[in-house]
Structure 1
Amino acid sequence: MLAAKMQRAILMAVFLFASLSLAESTTPGQADLGEQSLDSKPSGAGGGASGGKDAGNKEASTSDTKRIFDFKLTPEMKTADVDNKDSALSKLIAYIVKGAGKASEYVSIVQHKKAATEIRLEIHDDSIFLPGDSPANAQHGFRRTDVNPAIDKATTLTGITTWYQTIRLDSKAPLVLTHGYLLTCMEVPASDNSQTVRVRDYKTKTLYSLPLKYDQNYNFAITVDWTANTLTVYASVGIDPLKMVAGPMPNDPKAMSPEFKLKGEYHIQLIKFPLADAKDPVDKRSDTPHFGFQEPIKKEHVSFSNVFVTSGKEIEQPKFTSQRTRKPQLVDDSSISKTSDPAERFAYTSFPTCPLS
């Protein structure tokens, strides 16, 4: 029975940069390197995070890495700053995708005494995006909140650049895992699933995966060679240093199509995909931004920290911090329906473009 085998995961599907999503069960026959451990070295990976003997060092790298974009959250920043266009925080943000309320109703700054400051994105029942501020374009299928960091496309989308971020899901605001979720993207989100964190390429082949837990930091760095069109993945959990876990591996040539050159929009986000609605015409059910069913939202959010971009072949080893308030816990699947068909609930595996437009 398909439903009995259904799992769920965070998926990081690399397109121009990457998209990270929580979605449905894996399509049979799909390319997949399977679940791996950060202590093992997968096929195609080599060395540590910097490719040298000091790769396991928890201290910041002393190599020639240069941050060309830094979404730096300082202790002075506060939630009210997202409503003030002249604040230091707002200067880091190009755009916020949100519902009808003030930005601070959906985006907040969370300070911790012994851990990195986080930016928290939450969704509500009114988290419906109106592209172009036109009700005719309303994305009634999605519930979404996005923050678009104000990257310099001329420097971040050329040469060799590495994209870093730490992501944390909160057991006090659990996601509803009958739905798919997109957590970050540059251009094209993709969605399918298992109880793992996955890094995938443009063709949705899984490059790396590890178990998914609430209240645990997932640290990622993805190096994109914009000339050779290759991807290299580094990852760790908690305060562990980044390690190379996949690559360099070739990406699909479509990812470097001239139509995408220097046009990528970087999103950190929480997008909740709808369930298929039997009332919708069958041919409309794959149009998930605009069709589908959403239950009332109780409390759902995701937190980000360590968001920055470096240039060059070497990568930086950030000084990761982690909250010690709650023990990381595996996601409970009791909320997942045992009677509904996951293939019916999720009718597609990818968008042609990032759903901002």
Structure 2
Amino acid sequence: MLVAASSLLLASLVSATPLPKACKILFDGRVPLTATPADFDKTTSLYNNQFILGQNQTFDEIIKFPIVLPSLFDLKKINAKPVEVTINDQSIFFPGSGPLQSGFRRSELIPGPNNGTDSTVIGTTTVHFSIQTDPLKPLNYSHEYHPVWHERNDFNGDHFDLETGTPFTPSKESIPIHNPKTLRIAGFSVPTPEQNVFITDFTDFTWHNFALTIGWNTNKTTVYYSQNYEPLKKVAGPFTNDNSDGGQFHFGFLKLPTGPQGIDVAHQGYQEHIRGAEGLIYGGIFIEDSSNGCVTLS
């Protein structure tokens, strides 16, 4: 009887304990299980169906759905699956004015409603994403890559960058980068040296989970990180960062060339032939309102 009474008491206490309130989601970029690569070319896509791609490429050609376990926040939304973004030799972007960006290789997903002045860049918001390597489509770590970043509205710098590979300009880094196969979060990209606030090994077969809380008016940024299915933990900040002028999030590839310092990296430099494709796997992309301090950690 005591055991039964204790069980009833425990059950009543558990049922009376309020669940943590979910943060308001401003953009949910988690990809439905039913999605196809061709869906990313449609006007109904979660992401901008026109940008950013190589000239004459389509998302149907560069989007893949690898067979991997879902990421931490794909599990939260049961009907979501990881998505892979790839680049190849044809991933050369034509910006519409000026020449082809032949120095870069680019394939990127931009959240559909993120027009540069929308709710994702007002007040304080938190962007979530998970990233994983594809050993069947490996990167060339002699290059510098930006797998995730937020670009200012005036295109004059990035509020933050997730970087991997060998830095094109080592002297611009606030800490020496000895292992190119690392993931590095850097603050506003214009100052030299740029502010590297977090670094971790980019291990294969591992989900690397990130969240960045960005105060668009306070100019404060906080970074959270975990691996696989562990809850996010704060690893940097809040640190002072120039978060002014709004802008857009990019998820995918910006691959810099190799070459001498001082060249125009968008239009000059050397890119080795890519055998097949290089790929990065993404999951759990969403942006939430953190104006009241709400941040989803698990």
TM-score by length of 2: 0.73
Distance 1:91 1:309, change over 3 A: closer
| Cα distance in 2 for residues equivalent to 1:92 and 1:128 | 19
Q: Counterpart of 2:174?
A: none
Q: Counterpart of 1:209?
A: 199
Deviations 1:32-89 (A, max 9, x none): xxxxxxxxxxxxxxxxxxxxxxxxxxxxx82351111110211111122123334xxx
Q: Counterpart of 1:78?
A: 36
- Give the letter for the 1:180 counterpart: E
1:234 aligned onto 2:224? yes
| Cα distance in 2 for residues equivalent to 1:184 and 1:65 | 22
How big is the shift at 1:273?
1.1
Q: Which of structures 1 and 2 has the larger relative contact order (alpha carbons within 8 angstroms, sep 6+)? A: 1
Q: Counterpart of 2:268?
A: 291
Counting only pairs closer than 5 Å after superposition, residues 79-98 of structure 1 correspond to structure 2 as 79-86=37-44, 90-93=45-48, 95-98=50-53
| Cα distance in 2 for residues equivalent to 1:212 and 1:205 | 19
Runs of 5+ unmatched residues, structure 2 = 1-18, 75-80, 152-156, 168-176
Which deviates the most, 234-243 or 96-105? 96-105
The DSSP-based 3-state class of the residue aligned with 1:65 is coil
How big is the shift at 1:205?
1.7
How much identity, in percent, do the aligned residues show? Answer: 28
How big is the shift at 1:197?
2.3
Which deviates the most, 109-118 or 64-73? 109-118
How big is the shift at 1:200?
2.1
Number of matched pairs? 240
| Cα distance in 2 for residues equivalent to 1:270 and 1:221 | 19
Contact 2:37 2:61 in 1 (8 A): no
| Cα distance in 2 for residues equivalent to 1:137 and 1:315 | 42
Contact 2:29 2:46 in 1 (8 A): no
| Cα distance in 1 for residues equivalent to 2:112 and 2:264 | 29
Q: Counterpart of 1:174?
A: 138
Contact 1:233 1:246 in 2 (8 A): yes
- Give the letter for the 2:196 counterpart: T
Distance 1:85 1:151, change over 3 A: closer
TM-score by length of 1: 0.62
How big is the shift at 1:108?
2.6
Large movers: runs of 4+ above 6 Å: none
| Cα distance in 2 for residues equivalent to 1:209 and 1:157 | 25
Q: Counterpart of 1:130?
A: 94
Q: Counterpart of 1:306?
A: 284
How big is the shift at 1:113?
6.5
How big is the shift at 1:94?
5.4
Q: For the aligned residues, what is the CA RMSD?
A: 2.3
How big is the shift at 1:92?
3.6
Deviations 1:290-309 (A, max 9, x none): 00111110131111111111
- Give the letter for the 1:239 counterpart: Y
Contact 2:27 2:111 in 1 (8 A): no
| Cα distance in 1 for residues equivalent to 2:70 and 2:85 | 21
The DSSP-based 3-state class of the residue aligned with 1:97 is coil
| Cα distance in 2 for residues equivalent to 1:185 and 1:198 | 11
How big is the shift at 1:104?
1.0
How big is the shift at 1:158?
1.2
| Cα distance in 1 for residues equivalent to 2:230 and 2:186 | 22
Which deviates the most, 156-165 or 111-120? 111-120
Q: Counterpart of 2:27?
A: 69
